[in-house]
Amino acid sequence: MPSDLARRAGQHFARLATNLVVRTPVLWPLLRPLMRAMFDRLAPQWDSSREPGHLAAYDAGLAAVDGPARALDVGTGTGLGAFAIATRFPEAEVTGVDLSGDMVVEARRNTPEELAGRVRFEQADAARLPFPDGSFDLVALANMIPFFDELERVLAPGGALLVAFTWGPETPIFVPFERLRAELEARGFSQFAEFAAGTGSALLARKPRPD
Ligand SMILES: C[S@@+](CC[C@H](N)C(=O)[O-])C[C@H]1O[C@@H](n2cnc3c(N)ncnc32)[C@H](O)[C@@H]1O
């Protein structure tokens, strides 16, 4: 298959999978092997296919966050989001997780020496994160399907959740902000703020503290 056709087929699949999983999360186990295989295949060329400003909206959201001690980048790919967090917040310990083992290999290889002591990467499924409840003060996602129950679970009370999309609604993996807000409000999140930067958009929300 010509590579442009393969790329467009992959984008359609990513959009379809996102729409299905956000509405019906129980379908995820059926889609997971296909998603992992697709991103394993894309991993070696992921960085060269990215455009400048890829994380402009993600960065704009980070600028509004109080410095976290522990942060998680979910669906980190080759690690760019984890590096952005670690660079902005020099006190933060940052974990990046990805379903694709080949993405994790690239992320580890990309880690700048000066961040290596504070940034680590693990292969993990966002639908079942290998972390105890309340492990992180900041959980961030760029261009990644949100698994709302797990995001809420691993975030500490009072912690910040950031969801960003590089091309706004044109992003293959995209969830409309009304839908994000509704899912998060149903889980008690508040203090929503929206950001637009470059081609991208982001939503920031805060998990409530118990009374
Ligand atoms: C579109 S890429 C975005 C990568 C990176 N955040 C970026 O913006 O460059 C989506 C990433 O999410 C990962 N992913 C998809 N589903 C996942 C899941 N359930 N758990 C963890 N990672 C997942 C893919 O392997 C892929 O690396």
In terms of Cα–Cα distance, which of 17, 200, 210, 209 is closest to 126? 17
CB 150 within 8 A of CB 128: yes
Mutate to test the pocket of ligand 1, among 98, 102, 150, 154 (most ligand atoms within 8 A of CB): 98
- Cross-sheet strand order for the sheet of 190-197: 119-123, 93-98, 70-74, 136-142, 155-165, 200-206, 190-197
Where does ligand 1 bind, in terms of residues with CB under 6 Å?
35, 39, 75-77, 80-81, 97-100, 103, 125-127, 142-145, 173
- What is the structure's pLDDT at 2? 47
| Ligand 1 atom at minimal distance to the Cα of residue 103 | 27
Model-level pTM greater than 0.75?
Answer: yes
Give the whole-angstrom CA distance, residue 198 versus residue 187.
30
Residue 139 pairs with which residues in a beta bridge?
A: 72, 161
- From 39, 49, 106, 175, give the residue whose CB has the most ligand 1 atoms within 8 Å, as the site to mutate: 39
| Token pair of 114 as six digits | 């000066």
- Rounded to 5°, the CA angle 9-14-15 comes to 100
pLDDT in tens, the chain (211 residues): 447 888 889 999 999 999 999 999 999 999 999 999 999 999 999 999 888 899 999 999 999 999 999 999 999 999 999 999 999 999 999 999 999 999 999 999 999 999 999 999 999 999 999 999 999 999 999 999 999 999 999 999 999 999 999 999 999 999 999 999 999 999 999 999 999 999 999 999 999 998 7
Q: Pairing state of beta strands 190-197 and 119-123? A: unpaired
For ligand 1, the distance from its centroid to the CA atom of residue 145, given in whole angstroms, is 8
Instruction: Compute the distance from residue 210 Cα to the ligand 1 centre, in Å.
Output: 31
Distance 154 CA to ligand 1 centre (A): 18
- How close is the Cα of 211 to the center of ligand 1, in Å? 35
Write down the H helix ranges in the chain.
3-23, 28-49, 56-62, 80-88, 101-110, 148-154, 177-186
Residue 53 tokens read as 């400003």
pLDDT value for 6: 81
Q: Are 79 and 55 in contact (CB under 8 A)?
A: no
Angle at 111 between CA 105 and CA 116, to 5 degrees: 115
CA distance 83 to 116: 10
Residue of 99, 106, 121, 139 best suited for mutating to test ligand 1, as the one with most atoms within 8 Å of CB: 99
Give Cα separations from 100 to 133, 148, 209 (angstroms). Answer: 23, 20, 33
Minimal-distance CA residue to ligand 1 atom 12: 75
**CA-nearest residue, atom 17 of ligand 1:** 99
